[in-house]
């Protein structure tokens, strides 16, 4: 342990690194990014506004620096007894108190600015919070690590006291020494290389990525559409007319551009999120470090993991990969805030190591309940038919009754639904439940039976007469639903799994 930390007394208010002023300045600039973009949009239409910008630049810069300094100087943190206490605020002062036993997870993150300054941010998630309860955005890494260790030690002491073991007041030195003694290297599950990232990027769901990107672009620029069209009106009109005249060629060009754009976005997004990803499996936790510009270090205790979801597609399977999403318990079981750790590329041996490392003595359940494939076919046919009606009406005014031929697509959609329904099944045993579904994009979810907090079976007027039911599984990490299960099998499944959960002495959370 560095000498300067031996006398680090966290019972007294501590400040962050002085370089945190730079972090606050850049955060404030980013927060006003939309406003700055609006100013530039106005400036593009009126050159005199640039003069106003030039005159106001220096006073605005001074205000930013002064405000950031007070954000830094008014931010203090300390650990008293079993509480982390934060004081912050410039115009409105806040005092945040977090008890160690309410801490769900502690993450150390660093973006490109923090990395350049040699700083990291410490984020604390707690039970009952809708987001990060608090964040200390500008700490030296060694101090962040020691504070993280101390808080985990405090949490462990309280939990030990609850189990009948005498709790201790850990100092920062004692916490560090204990951490060094008990630290384990762990088993590196996966460490993605540049080649692995390229494979993952090219096997993403490009259609989904492209539409999300288009929605973001249109959503952002629609706010400034009036200014954009005024500034580029002549060019837009000219190119729009040429595109309309080009007809099929323009549509083909757009589709090619969309495909290239989607693949490019998928690859870039993969590099940003999963650069140098390293997942380590330890005896009591999973640790994942990932990210290029923003580096995230996540640690999830194995006992907090509610279920693991594996996903695949034909391209990814062809190169021997599938992805995994590890779902820990949410704060207060908040299903709207699904926390997860994602590992985008696992080989078969790594998948087996992961599931056996998280779920002790895992074995494939023998009992199976199959969904009704014809129900999925009927549902797809009805939905497909309803979606095709507006398209047929639109085409009717251009091609007449030939437009009715588009309804031939509805049976194809129904056939797809039937084969998809054949993939939907639940395997279960006293210890584990496995949900499988997916025709092209496959999904496999492993849930320990005792982690199921509640299970409901419901229906509606359309499926009651066919003796079908929807099964809803509630866990501390959210809800999963399997539709169109045979009524008798659904009730047997519900009663059996609830018995397994209620008779188990293992903790849900």
Task: Write out pLDDT tens, residues 46-56.
Answer: 566 666 666 77
Q: How many CB atoms lie within 10 A of CB 69?
A: 16
CATH label of the domain that carries residue 149: 2.30.29.30
CB 186 within 8 A of CB 280: yes
| C-alpha distance from residue 346 to each of 122, 152, 187, 205 (Å) | 29, 30, 14, 17
Residue 508 lies in a domain: no
- The per-residue pLDDT for 372 is 95
40 and 142 assigned to the same domain: yes
pTM for the structure as a whole: 0.76
Query: Which of 133, 157, 183 is a domain's end point?
Result: 183
Contacts of 260 (CB under 8 A, 6+ apart): none
Highest mean pLDDT: which of 172-186, 263-277, 382-396?
263-277
133 and 20 assigned to the same domain: yes
* CB hemisphere CA count around 328 (13 angstroms): 20
d(CA 259, CA 188): 36
Residue 88 lies in a domain: yes
**387-421 pLDDT, tens per residue?**
888 888 877 777 777 677 888 888 999 999 999 99
242 φ/ψ angles, rounded to the nearest 5 degrees: -65, -40
Q: How confident is the model at residue 307 (pLDDT cuts 50, 70, 90)?
A: very high
| C-alpha distance from residue 13 to each of 17, 47, 132, 145, 206 (Å) | 13, 50, 21, 18, 49
210 and 123 assigned to the same domain: no
**463-489 pLDDT, tens per residue?**
988 999 999 999 988 899 999 999 999
What residues are paired with 310 via a beta bridge?
Answer: 324, 444
Contacts of 439 (CB under 8 A, 6+ apart): 416, 419, 420, 423
Domain total of the chain? 3
Which H/E stretch holds residue 483? strand 478-486
* Three-class DSSP category at 118: coil
Residue 127 lies in a domain: yes
Parent domain of 117 = 3-183
118 and 224 assigned to the same domain: no
Residue 438 lies in a domain: no
What is the 3-state secondary structure of 434-447?
A: EEEECCCCEEEEEE
Q: How confident is the model at residue 167 (pLDDT cuts 50, 70, 90)?
A: very low
Which DSSP letter does residue 166 get?
P
173 and 247 assigned to the same domain: no
Average pLDDT (243-259) is 68
Is the Cα torsion angle 292, 293, 299, 300 positive or negative in sign? negative
Nearest alpha-carbon partner for 312 in 348, 277, 280, 339: 348
**83-105 pLDDT, tens per residue?**
899 999 998 889 998 888 888 77
159 and 215 assigned to the same domain: no
Residue 7 lies in a domain: yes
Residue 268 lies in a domain: yes
Q: Return mean pLDDT, the chain.
A: 81
* CB hemisphere CA count around 57 (13 angstroms): 6
Query: Which of 160, 183, 206 is a domain's end point?
Result: 183
d(CA 300, CA 152): 12
What residues are paired with 134 via a beta bridge?
Answer: 124
102 and 218 assigned to the same domain: no
Residue 484 lies in a domain: no
Q: Strand locations in 411-459, DSSP E? A: 425-428, 432-437, 442-448, 454-458
170 and 117 assigned to the same domain: yes
* Three-class DSSP category at 371: coil
145 and 228 assigned to the same domain: no
Average pLDDT (117-128) is 84
Contacts of 325 (CB under 8 A, 6+ apart): 308, 309, 310, 311, 340, 341, 342, 343
Residue 116 lies in a domain: yes
CB 307 within 8 A of CB 447: yes
79 and 161 assigned to the same domain: yes
Q: Is the pLDDT of residue 331 over 60?
A: no
76 and 149 assigned to the same domain: yes
94 and 201 assigned to the same domain: no
- The per-residue pLDDT for 337 is 46
d(CA 423, CA 383): 20
Query: Which of 158, 183, 208 is a domain's end point?
Result: 183
């Amino acid at each position: 342990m560095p000498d300067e930390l031996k006398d680090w007394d966290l019972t007294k208010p501590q400040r962050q690194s002085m370089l945190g002023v730079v972090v606050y300045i850049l955060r404030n600039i980013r927060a006003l990014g939309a406003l700055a973009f609006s100013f530039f949009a106005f400036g593009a239409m009126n050159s005199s506004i640039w003069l106003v910008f030039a005159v106001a630049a220096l006073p605005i810069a001074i205000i930013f620096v002064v405000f950031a300094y007070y954000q830094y100087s008014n931010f203090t943190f300390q650990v008293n007894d079993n509480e982390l206490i934060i004081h912050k605020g410039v115009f409105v002062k806040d005092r945040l108190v977090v008890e160690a036993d309410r801490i769900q997870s502690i993450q150390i993150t660093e973006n490109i600015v923090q990395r350049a300054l040699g700083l990291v941010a410490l984020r604390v998630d707690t039970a009952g919070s809708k987001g990060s309860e608090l964040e200390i955005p500008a700490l030296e890494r060694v101090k962040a690590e020691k504070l993280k260790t101390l808080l985990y030690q405090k949490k462990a002491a309280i939990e030990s006291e609850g189990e009948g073991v005498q709790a201790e007041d850990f100092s920062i030195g004692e916490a560090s020494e204990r951490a060094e003694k008990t630290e384990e290297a762990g088993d590196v599950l996966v460490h993605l290389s540049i080649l692995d990232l390229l494979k993952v990027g090219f096997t993403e769901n490009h259609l989904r990525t492209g539409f999300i990107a288009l929605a973001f672009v249109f959503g952002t620029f629609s706010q400034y559409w009036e200014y954009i069209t005024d500034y580029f009106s002549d060019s837009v009109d000219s190119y729009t007319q040429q595109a309309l005249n080009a007809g099929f060629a323009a549509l083909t060009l757009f589709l090619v551009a969309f495909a290239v754009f989607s693949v490019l976005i998928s690859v870039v997004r993969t590099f940003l999120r999963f650069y140098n990803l390293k997942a380590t499996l330890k005896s009591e936790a999973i640790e994942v470090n990932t990210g290029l510009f923003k580096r995230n270090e996540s640690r999830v205790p194995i006992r907090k993991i509610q279920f693991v979801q594996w996903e695949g597609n034909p391209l990814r399977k062809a190169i021997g990969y599938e992805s995994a999403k590890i779902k820990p318990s949410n704060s207060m079981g908040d299903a709207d805030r699904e926390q997860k750790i994602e590992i985008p590329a696992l080989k078969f041996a790594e998948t087996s190591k992961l599931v056996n490392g998280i779920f002790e003595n895992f074995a494939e359940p023998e009992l199976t309940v199959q969904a009704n494939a014809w129900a999925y076919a009927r549902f797809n046919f009805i939905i497909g038919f309803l979606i095709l009606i507006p398209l047929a009406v639109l085409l009717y005014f251009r091609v007449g009754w030939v437009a009715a031929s588009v309804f031939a697509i509805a049976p194809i959609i129904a056939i797809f639904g039937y084969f998809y329904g054949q993939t939907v099944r639940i395997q279960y045993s006293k210890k584990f439940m496995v949900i499988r579904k997916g025709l092209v994009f496959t999904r496999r979810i492993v849930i320990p039976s005792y982690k199921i907090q509640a299970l409901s079976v419901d229906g509606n007027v359309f499926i009651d007469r066919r003796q079908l039911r929807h099964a809803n599984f509630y866990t501390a990490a959210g809800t999963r639903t399997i539709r169109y299960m045979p009524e008798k099998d659904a009730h047997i499944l519900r009663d059996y799994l609830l018995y397994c959960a209620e008779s188990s002495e293992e903790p849900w959370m």
